[in-house]
Amino acid sequence: MSLDSPRVAYFCMEYGLDDALKTYSGGLGILAGDHLKGAHDLGLPLVGIGLKWKQGYVQQQIDEEGFQVDAFPTYFYGDDVMTDTGVEVAVTIAGDHVRVKVWKCDAYGNAPLYLLDTDLDGNPHRWTTGQLYAGPESRRVAQEIVLGVGGVRALRALGIETDVYHFNEGHALLAAFELAREKMERGMSRDEALAEVREECVFTTHTPIPQGNETHPTERLVYMGAGLGVIDQDKLREIGGEPFNMTVGALRLARVANGVAQLHGKTANDMWNWVEGRAPIHAITNGVHPGTWIDPDVDQAAVDGDLDGLWRAHQANKRALIAHTKERTGVQFTEDKLLIGFARRAVAYKRAMLIFEDEQKISPLLETGRVQLVFAGKAHPMDSSGKAIVQGLVEMQRRYPDSVAFITDYDMVTGAAMTRGSDVWLNTPRRPKEASGTSGMKAAMNGVLNASILDGWWPEAVNDGKNGWDIGSGFISADQRAQDEHDEASLYDVLLNKIIPTYYDERDTWIEMMRQSILDTRDFFSCHRMVREYVEMMYRQPVAA
Ligand SMILES: *Cc1c(COP(=O)(O)O)cnc(C)c1O
């Protein structure tokens, strides 16, 4: 199976290909990993460009007070994970000549991943590729110089011809400046060069929260050398504003852009409507890699209509999750009681604590074990409100030691166990702040029923009461408290009047819902459909108007 496509270089700050490769933090990286795997399966000429993080993202530990402690172990990789290409390129960071070594991860054949590394003896700024999403803002710019500028130079040094440069998030934007610089070196004017660059770049935005879109004072970009001597401060302001917004810049330097779910496409269009001269923003709903995330026994039983086999396969996954939870937390769950999973980055808008808000309602359910809850999620090292959420969840495990567990250090192993072995996958973001969410897709395709706010991907899949449940009916309010109270009431209504009675009293209906969940999602929310849409809507040159 091979899909006709231009040659693509895909740039991303993080990649979650396999848990052994600690180059990811969360959803963005998992998506990038699944994109490469999808490209591999479809035979696409696509290469990934990323950074070789020496210490990856924060490792989460919990102290005696239940507080998150940030650890940064150093990772070492053998030849089975990545090999030295022998290629070295260089970039300039704050006036210093910095060498960049290129590693290769070959696990996905036609869609290899190249990782750039500054951690070389005697190298200035060698810590640039030290820690993912940590450190001062100027270091972030240095990282983006390595990713974007170093990335393009690595492609040239490796002899990889490229038709389309795909920026997955704005972090890779500086690649566009390097492409412009190359063209100017060949004699083009800056404006001609930028116009040509625009025809070669495509951009995916993931961040519906305005403050989540990275900005830098143009002075910082100038000081760090991000303009490569060709994009001066005035031009930087013209492209990205002041402070320079990476998303705005990418929207102006790409020929086409996309959001990552249909609802997010709309949100992004509204949000960036004011940006003059920007690329059109389409919507391509995310997908996940079936071979990585889906249990083949569950899938086969659903396709065959073998409901007993489906339940047996699910219970086997549930026992595996119970064992994983026991090993990691000491909490012993019960196999024949409802188990609800929730794994998200610990950040306020995801409202991990929502289910605990009404103690009178939830407490009896947890004390009798009728409801069991398993949580996971890291807070960013600098996010004290996120750390308070982690502390709250750990406190709940202490209060209900038989029915609440918090698994530390959420990663791909825990993610896979939870999205296979839970009975219900709970998702309670403040609409419309969740761009897509992919863990719910993994769950749905494993017959784990989603109970979710109508945000991100879920409005495209939900058939309330048939393949999962809608929480909150799409309600949005400018008054955050009103929205929270509304969604809380809806959550308890769904839990008490739908989920619990169906699970305990109507098992046949439940298993039929599991099957429906799988059949409704297994094809559409696969990364194969997603990558095909990228080829059709983004990579192939759009027909001239
Ligand atoms: C799937 C996955 C994610 C992304 O899930 P969201 O629904 O976007 O939160 C993040 N981290 C891990 C480890 C995953 O497996």
CA distances from 493 to 61, 346, 402 (A): 35, 24, 24
Taking CA atoms only, the protein residue closest to ligand 1 atom 1 is 439
Taking CA atoms only, the protein residue closest to ligand 1 atom 9 is 344
What is the Cα–Cα distance from 358 to 64, expressed in whole angstroms? 26
Query: What are phi and psi for residue 48, nearest 5 degrees?
Result: -95, 140
Read off the pLDDT of residues 37-89 as tens digits, 9 standing for 90 and up. 999 999 999 999 999 999 999 999 999 999 999 999 999 999 999 999 999 99
Q: What is the pLDDT of residue 545?
A: 38
Residue 108, pLDDT > 90, answer no
Q: What is the pLDDT of residue 543?
A: 45
Query: Quick one: CA dihedral 147, 150, 153, 157, positive or negative?
Result: negative
| CATH number for region 290-525 | 3.40.50.2000
Taking CA atoms only, the protein residue closest to ligand 1 atom 6 is 437
pTM of the shown model: 0.97
Residue 544, pLDDT > 60, answer no
**Rounded to the nearest 5 degrees, what angle is found at the Cα of 232, between the Cα atoms of 230 and 238?**
115
One-letter amino acid identity for 381? P
Identify the residues whose C-beta falls under 6 Å from ligand 1.
26-27, 30, 344, 410-412, 415, 437-440, 442
Q: For residue 37, how far is its CA from the centre of ligand 1 (angstroms)?
A: 16
What is the Cα–Cα distance from 545 to 541, expressed in whole angstroms? 11
Homologous superfamily in CATH for domain 8-287+529-539 = Glycogen Phosphorylase B; (3.40.50.2000)
Read off the pLDDT of residues 198-233 as tens digits, 9 standing for 90 and up. 999 999 999 998 888 999 999 999 999 999 999 999
Residue 429 and residue 346 in contact, taking contact as beta carbons nearer than 8 Å: no
Residue 117 and residue 101 in contact, taking contact as beta carbons nearer than 8 Å: yes
Residue 156 CB: number of other CB atoms within 10 A?
15
Q: What is the mean pLDDT of the chain?
A: 97
* Local confidence band at 542 (pLDDT 50, 70, 90 cut-offs): low
* Local confidence band at 109 (pLDDT 50, 70, 90 cut-offs): confident
Residue 470, pLDDT > 70, answer yes
Q: Give CATH 3.40.50.2000 domain extents, the chain.
A: 8-287+529-539, 290-525
Q: What tokens does 5 get?
A: 């496509």
Read off the pLDDT of residues 178-198 as tens digits, 9 standing for 90 and up. 999 999 999 999 999 999 999
Strand, coil or helix: what is 60? strand
Q: Is 454 left (phi over 0), alpha (psi -120 to 50) or beta?
A: beta
Residue 1, pLDDT > 80, answer no
Q: For residue 253, how far is its CA from the centre of ligand 1 (angstroms)?
A: 29
